[in-house]
Amino acid sequence: MDLRRIWAVRAGRDNQADHLFFNRGQISLGLGAGGDARLLRPTRAAFKEAFAGAGAAAPGSIPIQAGQLFRFVHEMKLGDSVVYPRKIDRTLRWGEVTGDYVYDGADGSDFPHRRSVRWLSSRSRDDFSPGALYELGSVLTLFEVKSFATELRRRFEAGEAPEETEEESPAVARDIAETTRDFISKTIKTDFKGYPFEQLVAELFRAMGYRVQVTQKSKDDGVDVVACRDPLGVEPPILKIQAKAQDSNAGADVVKAFYASIHERDVGVFVTTAGFTAAAQEFARMRGNLRLIDGVELVDLIQDHYESFDQKMKRRIPLRRVLAPDVAPEE
């Protein structure tokens, strides 16, 4: 059994470190931890503290970025394999880690965290299955390849040709959709707690064509966002929205308390990142001016109206439109 790990690494969003990868034979990371990572205690907690102190990452992304640098410094070993998806020429480059971690900021590069690597071979992306390419399409700068590690070894080390199956493309397309939904859901739960979640909901309704206003925290009476289509905000219906970022399902008592503040001419909308109990759903079904939006529908709405989000919110939930095989939904 081959115990060597396979690490996928990127050269930056726009291939800025590509010259370091090949001219110097160094894979390089630009994750900011405030200096030489060898000076940090060899724990993930210490790396998180360093990232937080440097202020180089949004709070919600600190565990992810700190974890990548920790793995680069302490988990990557000499002899491990490296695969680099090179955008410039649509190839996958295969190499071997030959050096320990070093910090080199002398040349002013934005990618000072480095390891030496010996490049061994190169193959076109077309030589790999859609599943392998999808795994390598992760948004992370550094990650371990697991699901399709065997295929990569066969292609690069044994020279085998890809095996095509009729079901693979549809499966990959479904995986892309599911991964996107998972990313949105996790980002909301990680980065949008309390007031930031109210701002997200307000931006969603603005993107849907409403004029919105986030209420004052101390005087909202359970209403976090007010939305309407009338430019003056006086013509009904006026939406009174409560936004709850929570892990447990909202019960009937909570929904009833919110509905008590909704006037007859208004519409109450209760938005949560979780779900609703059966009793809460039954209560809403009996009210024509009450609408419940759970976490699943919230992600659907964000995907449907993402293009109309403002740039600030898009930076907080970074997504990119991609083309994928058009497959029929599973029965």
Q: pLDDT tens digit string along 155-169?
A: 998 877 666 555 555
Kindly state whether residues 206 and 310 are assigned to the same domain.
yes
Domain membership of residue 173 (yes or no) is: no
Evaluate whether residue 56 is within a structural domain: yes
Residue 170 has pLDDT above 50, yes or no: yes
Q: Span 130-148, mean pLDDT?
A: 88
Say yes or no: 67 and 202 in one domain: no
Supply φ then ψ for residue 122, to 5 degrees: -145, 140
The reply to whether 206 and 251 lie within a common domain is yes
The last residue of one of the domains, among 131, 164, 197, is: 164
In angstroms, the CA 305 to CA 320 distance is: 13
| 223 and 104 fall within a common domain | no
Could you list the residue range(s) of the whole structural domain that residue 73 is in?
A: 6-164
Q: Are residues 159 and 10 in the same domain?
A: yes
Same domain, 151 and 293: no
Instruction: Identify whether 119 is part of a domain.
Output: yes
Neighbouring CB atoms inside 10 A of 320's CB total 7
Residue 198 has pLDDT above 80, yes or no: yes
Average pLDDT over residues 224-240: 81
Number of domains in the chain: 2
Residue 115 confidence (pLDDT) above 70: yes
Write the pLDDT tens digit of every residue in 71-111: 999 999 999 999 999 988 889 999 999 999 999 987 667 89
Per-residue model confidence (pLDDT) at position 231: 73
Distance in angstroms (rounded) separating the CA atoms of residues 91 and 320: 21
Task: Kindly report the backbone phi and psi dihedral angles of residue 165, in degrees, each rounded to the nearest multiple of 5, phi listed first.
Answer: -130, 150
Question: Is residue 183 assigned to a domain?
Answer: no
The Cα-based distances of 38 to 80, 119, 278 in angstroms read 20, 25, 53
Residue 35 is part of a domain; what is its CATH number? 3.10.590
Selection from 193, 36, 189, 19 nearest residue 103 by Cα: 36
Q: What's the pLDDT score for residue 82? A: 97
Residue of 193 and 102 predicted with greater confidence: 102
Is residue 176 over pLDDT 80?
Answer: no
Model pLDDT, residue 268: 95
pLDDT (average), residues 22-42: 88
Is residue 14 in a domain? Answer: yes
Answer whether residue 179 is part of any domain.
Answer: no
Q: What type of residue sits at position 74?
A: H
Asked if residue 225 and residue 76 are part of one domain, the reply reads no
Q: Does a structural domain hold residue 182? A: no
What pLDDT shows up at residue 331?
Answer: 46
Residue 277: what pLDDT? 93
* 275 to 191, 252, 292, 297, 298: CA distances (angstroms): 19, 12, 9, 10, 10
pLDDT tens string 14-30: 788 999 999 999 999 98
Q: CA neighbours within 13 Å on the CB side: how many for 216? A: 2
Question: In terms of domains, do 49 and 148 share one?
Answer: yes
Q: Which amino acid belongs to residue 314?
A: K
Q: Are residues 143 and 259 in the same domain?
A: no
Residue holding tokens 């405030």?
Answer: 34
Residue 171 placed within a domain:
no
- The mean pLDDT of the chain is 87
Instruction: Check whether residue 148 and residue 253 sit in a common domain.
Output: no
Q: Is 217 helix (H, G, I), strand (E, B) or coil?
A: helix
Q: Is 11 found in the same domain as 90?
A: yes
Q: What is the pLDDT of residues 248-297, one digit of tens each?
A: 899 999 999 999 999 888 999 999 999 999 999 999 999 999 999 999 99
* pTM across the whole model: 0.58
**Choice among 112-116, 156-160, 302-306 with the minimum mean pLDDT:** 156-160
Q: What is the pLDDT of residue 98?
A: 97
Residue 120: the pLDDT is 95
Q: Residue 214: give its domain's CATH number.
A: 3.40.1350.10
